[in-house]
Structure 1
Amino acid sequence: MTYLGIDIGTSEIKAILTDDAQTILASSGVSLRVSSPHPGWSEQDPEHWWQSTLDVIAAIRSAQPVAFSGLRGIALSGQMHGATVLDGQDRVLRPAILWNDTRAFAECVELEALVPESRAITGNQAMPGFTAPKLLWLKKHEPELFRAIRKVLLPKDYVALRLTGDYVSDMSDASGTLWLDVARRDWSERMLAATGLGREHMPRLVEGSHAAARIRPSLCQQWGISHPVVLAGGAGDNAAAAVGLGVVEPGAGLLSLGTSGVLFAGSDGFAPNPGQGVHAFCHCLPERWHQMSVILSAASSLSWVAKLTQSNDVGELASLAENVEARTAPIFLPYLSGERTPHNDANARGVFFGLSTGHGRAELAYSVMEGVAFAMADGNEALRSAGTHLRQASFVGGGSRSRFWAQLCANASGLEVLRHDHGVAGGTMGAARLAQMAVTGLPPSQVCTRPPVQETVAPQAPGVLQERLARYRRLYPLLRAEMAMAAPGS
């Protein structure tokens, strides 16, 4: 039997085909674009997710036709929080509002005033990237459209609808909506009512490793498959990456440098710390939870500098950074899209501090990579304040290709950073594993094993980096009021 893991990302749709031994038989990816029609807005057309999903499936089927014919299960992982709103005929009413969209910052204050116990219910501060404030924004600014809404789906769950005809989500992805009672693993009618919605607007909830629906027979026929194919519940992208790297037990950690940056800690219970901007979510496996610290611009910050300096290769730019002496580079605050942990500030913006005419693209690249590492160190401190003490974390995401970035993160955070052979495939591998569990009924202990560790990057002795981290932490409080005054509409 074979299994298909598909990741509905922000910058790319990726997929892998695996067998019962979890061997990757084929992989494919298609790039996506993000639209920003106004400052602070971030949107995508859900139809592009669907067409790109069909494209990656077609590529995998073409590469491995025999193995693909044995397909028994599919699972989706996906970018979290995105508001995909549908009418009564399942037509998309507007472009999806994405996780890094900051327009709904005022609605966060409004939502917490409407439900004073919201942090106890959801385990999280209301942040503009979450789904519920976006619906309050739509209710206020696009009222006719809001009245036409019959379903609200997350990005991967919209693709699941197109695959199966069913409205279904999993616990980990639903945790990022601010509509889930995270301890009870069920929709909160109080939170839904505060945004003018009810259970009828929500998808059915399942555990990520359980069978959720079946792929439409018409699609199976197109793919040359005569037997039923199961769709698993799936997962939010970070929970899927954790499953792909075997980060499923309490105390296990994951450090992801993708478009966003995440420090993920597994837990066997609900352990919120909303005051420090720590996310407390359900894991995609039954009776498991996790905590996350999240920054909004991680590897995307380096891509931005590459574009800014007209560098053709992000990897080459990262290599140039390795030869920069730290004390000669500017300090960078990586708040290009606002920030979550620990500041929860939609108005926060990126800053280069200490620029001079002697600085070139190598110094800018170093500063960006160091600034992201410092932000991850802040995230680790936020987790510590919640009582979570990680010793090591598996490295995943596009940034994990850089050994130098792993060392910066280790030095700044004090964590051992584990590099794996298939670290960059964590999300798709996690999805494939969820599909395998949904089909076979195997327990996580047999399926969610840790891949071989390629290298353990240990933190080096404190030095100039710790001095620069202290300066980095002093800058944001000094600039916060100025950032707020410079925000659009202020």
Structure 2
Amino acid sequence: MYIGLDLGTSGLKAILITEAQHVVAEANVALTNERPQDGWSEQDPATWLAACDRVMADLGTKADLSAVKGIGLSGHMHGATLLDGADRVLRPCILWNDTRSHVEAAEMDADPRFRAVTGNIVFPGFTAPKLAWVKRHEPEIFAQLKKVLLPKDYLRLYLTGEHVGDMSDSAGTAWFDTGARDWSDDLLAATDMDRSFMPRLVEGSEVSGTLRAYLCAKWGVSPTCVIAGGGGDNAASAIGVGVVKAGQAFVSLGTSGVLFAANDGYQPDAATAVHTFCHALPNTWHQMGVILAATDALNWYGRFVGQDAATLTRALGGLEAPGKTRFLPYLGGERTPLNDSAIRGGFIGLEHATDTHAGTRAVLEGVTFAIKDCAEALAATGTKIDRLLAVGGGSKSHYWVEAIATALNVAVDLPVAGDFGGAYGAARLGQMAATGGGAELAATPAIETTIEPNQSLSAAFEDGFARFKAAQVAIKGLT
């Protein structure tokens, strides 16, 4: 059996699968993040370790873990976990959706070496500008720094005692030569760092270490259990849904929103604000458009009107044409295609007739059109999407998925009941590492249903997208 651990922004999820990749048990522990100032987003890494103990203990009550041969890791990307020489955490982890380092990111992005080597714009959420911010604003912390780990790799340190990263996650730091799949000495030097601060690298499907003996005894796991390199959350989700070859793509409606396409080669186009990263398998890459608020926007609106997201979406009937009320989902800035940490969201077109139902539709449409923005950016790089898989909590809303299918004019497949996200992909990577298996272990799951574009509303959604773009210009003028 194999375990996948997915360290998400809002929780740590564990999945236990069999050799045949059937899920036999799962466990979840909720996590929270702190926003001590506008644009800041942090978590205490100690909570990740406590959550890991809890999910492993929970799995142990549901199944015999002595047969576990491998554990794979997935996690939210870009987080800066800063350690001293004794591996003590120096400050709360600065998360992916933290935009405080927008000045430092702009300074780095102005240096043409960063785009040329990484294949990406230097976004404020990336790791390197966060370290530049720490050096500038918290020099006493920077002076103690000995190692920088991404969130899942700090969890790996707990599991194995080793500083190790993988290619897919490391490609989101702005210190990585994405084409060469290695740290860039030039970019590290440009930020007053060197390889000694970085973890060693393995591919996502390779062994990164073995589980510590005391944890094996604590959790009832074999001492031969290996820990896979794993991947960033989106790359791991792609492994979970079998998106590993050129032409395959998925849309993820989680806290953030992602439009992800696999590539057989390295084909960056940084100017589009499309992310070009290494995939979690050797010699593969991927591109993705990223929006910072997907279900996060719906949950925000739910708190605003006093109803949870599930209640709001259940109240919707069949898909409707986009209404007068428009929503811009930029609650904490935006990445693709805007690359704007200062832009903020808003409702436009409110009137006396606007009610909760209209507001819910506007939020779903706003996120949908932001994803269409990503699709157009991907198309500009030459990436074509003929069909999509949908994953994430938002994919449970038929209304939302049909809106995306209609706006993008592509069929959207929904996997059979089950979780094929980051934790499942991480478990598959754990199996690959333990058995020496490859991409054949990442097959596309069985499809439960396919949602086709609603052709009768295609023109209405094109008009709605045009109004969304006009509202985008108006919002940019106010922020």
* TM-score between the two structures when normalised by the length of structure 2: 0.98
Q: Which residue of 2 aligns with 1:104?
A: 101
**Does residue 1:428 correspond to 2:423, yes or no?**
yes
Alpha-carbon shift at residue 374 of structure 1 (Å): 0.5
Counterpart of 1:456, as a letter, is T
Task: Write the mapping of 1:304-323 to structure 2, written as runs, cut at 5 A.
Answer: 304-311=300-307, 313-322=308-317
Q: Which residue of 1 aligns with 2:365?
A: 370
Q: Which residue of 2 aligns with 1:225?
A: 221
Q: Which residue of 2 aligns with 1:486?
A: none
Q: Which residue of 2 aligns with 1:236?
A: 232
Question: What per-residue deviation string (whole Å, max 9, x for no partner) do you get for residues 163-221 of structure 1?
Answer: 11000011000010011100000000111112211100000100000111011011001
2:287 pairs, out of 291, 297, 300, with: 291
Task: Please tell me whether the aligned partners of residues 415 and 459 of structure 1 are also in contact (alpha carbons under 8 angstroms).
Answer: yes
Task: Write the mapping of 1:190-339 to structure 2, written as runs, cut at 5 A.
Answer: 190-311=186-307, 313-322=308-317, 325-339=320-334
Q: 1:300 to 1:423 in 2, by over 3 A?
A: farther
Task: Please tell me whether the aligned partners of residues 172 and 236 of structure 1 are also in contact (alpha carbons under 8 angstroms).
Answer: yes
Higher mean Cα deviation, 75-84 or 356-365?
Answer: 356-365
Q: 1:324 to 1:419 in 2, by over 3 A?
A: closer
Task: Please tell me whether the aligned partners of residues 396 and 423 of structure 1 are also in contact (alpha carbons under 8 angstroms).
Answer: no
Q: Which residue of 2 aligns with 1:360?
A: 355
Partner SS for 1:287: coil
**Does residue 1:474 correspond to 2:470, yes or no?**
yes
Counterpart of 1:54, as a letter, is D
Counterpart of 2:433, as a letter, is A
Task: Please tell me whether the aligned partners of residues 324 and 363 of structure 1 are also in contact (alpha carbons under 8 angstroms).
Answer: no
Q: Which residue of 1 aligns with 2:387?
A: 392
Partner SS for 2:20: coil
Counterpart of 1:412, as a letter, is A
Question: What per-residue deviation string (whole Å, max 9, x for no partner) do you get for residues 16-54 of structure 1?
Answer: 001100010100111111100000000000011111111
Q: Which residue of 2 aligns with 1:12?
A: 11
Counterpart of 1:468, as a letter, is G
Alpha-carbon shift at residue 323 of structure 1 (Å): 5.8
Cα distance in 1 for partners of 2:302, 2:437 equals: 44
Cα distance in 2 for partners of 1:383, 1:423 equals: 29
Higher mean Cα deviation, 468-477 or 324-333?
Answer: 324-333
Alpha-carbon shift at residue 321 of structure 1 (Å): 3.4
Counterpart of 1:391, as a letter, is D
Cα distance in 2 for partners of 1:479, 1:331 equals: 11
Cα distance in 2 for partners of 1:241, 1:224 equals: 27
State the identity %. Answer: 48
Q: 1:217 to 1:440 in 2, by over 3 A?
A: same
Partner SS for 1:321: coil
Task: Please tell me whether the aligned partners of residues 250 and 261 of structure 2 are also in contact (alpha carbons under 8 angstroms).
Answer: yes
Task: Please tell me whether the aligned partners of residues 344 and 475 of structure 2 are also in contact (alpha carbons under 8 angstroms).
Answer: no
Alpha-carbon shift at residue 421 of structure 1 (Å): 1.6
Q: Which residue of 1 aligns with 2:48?
A: 49
Cα distance in 2 for partners of 1:465, 1:241 equals: 28
Q: How many residues align?
A: 477
Alpha-carbon shift at residue 109 of structure 1 (Å): 1.7
Cα distance in 1 for partners of 2:295, 2:475 equals: 24
Q: Which residue of 2 aligns with 1:32?
A: 31
Task: Please tell me whether the aligned partners of residues 398 and 424 of structure 1 are also in contact (alpha carbons under 8 angstroms).
Answer: no
Task: Please tell me whether the aligned partners of residues 43 and 92 of structure 2 are also in contact (alpha carbons under 8 angstroms).
Answer: yes
Q: 1:18 to 1:325 in 2, by over 3 A?
A: closer
**Structure 1 unmatched runs, 5+:** 484-490
Question: What per-residue deviation string (whole Å, max 9, x for no partner) do you get for residues 200-253 of structure 1?
Answer: 000010000011101101100112234311000000000000000010011100
Alpha-carbon shift at residue 84 of structure 1 (Å): 0.5
Q: 1:226 to 1:105 in 2, by over 3 A?
A: closer
**Does residue 1:138 correspond to 2:144, yes or no?**
no
**Does residue 1:164 correspond to 2:163, yes or no?**
no
* TM-score between the two structures when normalised by the length of structure 1: 0.95
Task: Please tell me whether the aligned partners of residues 178 and 277 of structure 2 are also in contact (alpha carbons under 8 angstroms).
Answer: yes
Cα distance in 2 for partners of 1:6, 1:422 equals: 20
Cα distance in 2 for partners of 1:81, 1:439 equals: 27
Q: Which residue of 1 aligns with 2:376?
A: 381
**Structure 2 unmatched runs, 5+:** none
Cα distance in 2 for partners of 1:423, 1:103 equals: 37
Higher mean Cα deviation, 223-232 or 4-13?
Answer: 223-232
Task: Please tell me whether the aligned partners of residues 205 and 438 of structure 2 are also in contact (alpha carbons under 8 angstroms).
Answer: no
Task: Please tell me whether the aligned partners of residues 202 and 229 of structure 2 are also in contact (alpha carbons under 8 angstroms).
Answer: yes
Alpha-carbon shift at residue 324 of structure 1 (Å): 7.8
Partner SS for 1:69: helix
Q: Moved runs in structure 1, 4+ residues, more than 3 A?
A: 321-329, 422-425
Q: 1:301 to 1:231 in 2, by over 3 A?
A: same
Partner SS for 1:222: helix
Alpha-carbon shift at residue 358 of structure 1 (Å): 2.1
Question: What per-residue deviation string (whole Å, max 9, x for no partner) do you get for residues 312-353 of structure 1?
Answer: x31120122336854545111111110000000001111100
Higher mean Cα deviation, 322-331 or 244-253?
Answer: 322-331
Question: What per-residue deviation string (whole Å, max 9, x for no partner) do you get for residues 369-417 of structure 1?
Answer: 1111101111000000000011111100111111111101111112211
Question: What per-residue deviation string (whole Å, max 9, x for no partner) do you get for residues 137-169 of structure 1?
Answer: 001000111111100000000000011100001
Alpha-carbon shift at residue 424 of structure 1 (Å): 4.0
Alpha-carbon shift at residue 460 of structure 1 (Å): 2.0
**Does residue 1:456 correspond to 2:450, yes or no?**
yes
Counterpart of 1:171, as a letter, is M
